[in-house]
Amino acid sequence: MATLILASMLMLSDVELYYEVHGGDGPPLLLVAGLASDVSSWQTVLPALSEHFRVIVVDNRGIGRSVPEDAPVSVDLMADDCAALIDYLGYGPVHVLGHSMGGFTALSLAARYPDRVKKLVLAATGEKSSSRNTLLFSDLADLYEREEDPAGFFRTVFYWIFSPAFFEDKDTVKGAVEFALSYPFPQAPVSFRNQVNAIAAFDGRNLAVSVSAPTLVLSAAEDLLFASSAGRELAEKLPRGKYLSVEGAAHSIHAEKPKEFAEAVVSFLKEGENP
């Protein structure tokens, strides 16, 4: 279990951000979650990462314990929030790891606040979302707003973020649905819709070339939302980009392959450090 150092709220002009700090005296590492995800989404890799880093996890604006639920959301606003949190904690520059929509946020952060980012990991993401994803996420937002079948909604999400192997164990699928249904800080429909709109509006195709931080783009071989080819293209545009694909996982790499995910992140972030 990761050692919790601090859990608190950061008050900004239009939102209050919930954040936690885990680990010991290692270099600081900020984790930025994706669509419909908050600090709990990192539980599979937090213990391993906090052995090496002082890990900062944050609920993006409007989700989890951050308030208000209907806060305006854009990728750049979330990047601004991350920069403010880094400054408030006084840890900068920090390593940054962003997953999916969090990868968009991390890319924006690194391009617009280069002095805040030491090394960058972009997981299961790309430069922008596809038209198919835009329609899919909008349909999911419609389904979530109707609140007719919460269990069915989460299963539908799981079909897109987990590999076929995940569904071979019925108890695992049942447990994941039960966890989502019983989670004490559920995302409000307005927050989900705002995040969906933020993803659709983001276009980072002109950002990669301006990122000065060494960057690992981490893809999953079975990702249906951001194909490995999208990750490879992003890595090739980054001035100091490196690419790695994880086998046997889909979009939620850190949930399906936590050991491989954590090892790849630790290896990259520690590369070049003095022993």
- pLDDT, position 203: 97
pLDDT at 275 (0 to 100): 55
User: How high is the pLDDT of residue 253?
Assistant: 98
Q: Tokens 């835009």 identify what position? A: 134
What is the pLDDT at residue 41? 97
Cα dist. 178→33, 68, 143, 145, 167 in Å?
21, 26, 18, 19, 15
Residue 116, both tokens: 């805040």
**Are the beta carbons of 259 and 48 closer than 8 angstroms?**
yes
Tell me, what's the pLDDT at 167?
Answer: 97
Q: Which residues pair with 219 in a beta bridge?
A: 245
Q: Are 100 and 78 in contact (CB under 8 A)?
A: no
Say whether pTM exceeds 0.75.
Answer: yes
Residue 28: its H or E element: strand 28-32
| pLDDT in single tens digits along all 275 residues of the chain | 778 999 999 999 999 999 999 998 899 999 999 999 999 999 999 999 999 999 999 999 999 999 999 999 999 999 999 999 999 999 989 999 999 999 999 999 999 999 999 999 999 999 999 999 999 999 999 999 998 999 999 999 999 999 999 999 999 999 999 999 999 999 999 999 999 999 999 999 999 999 999 999 999 999 999 999 999 999 999 999 999 999 999 999 999 999 999 999 999 999 987 65
**CATH class as words, domain 4-270:** alpha beta
